[in-house]
Amino acid sequence: AQSVTQPDIHITVSEGASLELRCNYSYGATPYLFWYVQSPGQGLQLLLKYFSGDTLVQGIKGFEAEFKRSQSSFNLRKPSVHWSDAAEYFCAVASWKNNDMRFGAGTRLTVKP
């Protein structure tokens, strides 16, 4: 079965600084990859997804992610972080057949003023 690793439990960046959140996945075939964001006490919102094609995908709120098959990675980036980006971020992988999305443990982002 597929699995996801997010190596960083907690990251702190200054407002206006760039951001990269790491995600590594394990799956035997071409995965469907996702990044979700969760504000405290809320459900999850999709930021972006990769199914096929261009390996650099653009999402909402100025986020982007790059699929690197050779590294089994799907890192999330943002050139300039805003205070409102403080939240928990989850990387996820799904397979077409299984319909069961697996999530990483999440990375909590703190933004310093």
Partner 1 sequence: SQTIHQWPATLVQPVGSPLSLECTVEGTSNPNLYWYRQAAGRGLQLLFYSIGIDQISSEVPQNLSASRPQDRQFILSSKKLLLSDSGFYLCASSPRTNTGELFFGEGSRLTVL
**Which residues of the shown chain bind partner 1 in the complex (CB under 8 A)?**
6, 9, 32, 34, 36, 41-46, 49, 51, 90, 92, 94, 96, 99-106
* Minimum distance from residue 62 beta carbon to partner 1 (Å): 19
Torsion of CA 71, 22, 65, 108, to 10 degrees: 160
Nearer to partner 1, 34 or 63 (CB): 34
Neighbours of 41 (CB within 10 A): 5
Nearer to partner 1, 5 or 15 (CB): 5
DSSP string, 61-92: GG-EEEEEGGGTEEEEEESS--GGG-EEEEEE
Nearer to partner 1, 35 or 85 (CB): 35
* Minimum distance from residue 90 beta carbon to partner 1 (Å): 7
